Amino acid sequence: MANTLGIVKPDGVRRKLVGNIMGRIENVGLILRGLKVVRLEKEEARKFYAVHEGKPFFNSLIEFMTSGPIVVMVIGGHDSIERWRDLMGATDPAKARYNTIRREFGTSVEKNVVHGSDSPVTARAEVAFFFKDDEILPKE
Ligand code: IDP
Ligand code: MG
């Protein structure tokens, strides 16, 4: 029942997709345990995406992720990491399955609307990046 981190990226917020995306989370029975709207500073974005430093898309990704507010979510429930990534779809919207968020709304590999942690280790670190313990609803 581990938590995972979800983000609605600046393109998703700009295009008013937050409600739609949260609806999908609710509809599959995942649980929203934490929520906030933030705007990342360049340095914060670089730290969050440190694993991608040096890749050709890194600088552009940082520009994009700091281009407007984002919505960060702590998502819980059984297999939350995998099930949230299933809702998101593949990184490249053109390759994502039908009915996934990225397939429906993504406009490029970069501007793919949402983020999700990819393992228990990254989920723990990414949740802690944005949320203090007392900002997360405890598991019942
Ligand atoms: P993920 O978000 O599906 O886990 P990652 O490989 O971890 O994908 O990449 C992080 C983010 O960096 C992607 O969601 C996307 O916004 C951006 N990105 C990844 N690969 C590329 C690329 O080849 N070109 C442009 N942007 C990319
Ligand atoms: Mg990733």
Q: What domains sit in the chain, N to C, each tagged with a CATH number?
A: 4-131 (3.30.70.141)
Q: Would you state the pLDDT for residue 27?
A: 98
| Distance separating alpha carbons of residues 102 and 83, to the nearest angstrom | 14
Q: Would you state the pLDDT for residue 64?
A: 99
Q: How far is the CA of 109 from the centre of ligand 1 (A)?
A: 6
Q: How far is the CA of 10 from the centre of ligand 2 (A)?
A: 16
Please check the confidence at residue 121 and state whether its pLDDT lies above 90. Answer: yes
Q: Is the pTM of this model over 0.95?
A: yes
Which of 103, 110, 121 best tests ligand 1's pocket when mutated (most atoms within 8 Å of CB)?
Answer: 110
Sign of the torsion formed by the C-alpha atoms of 89, 8, 120 and 53: positive
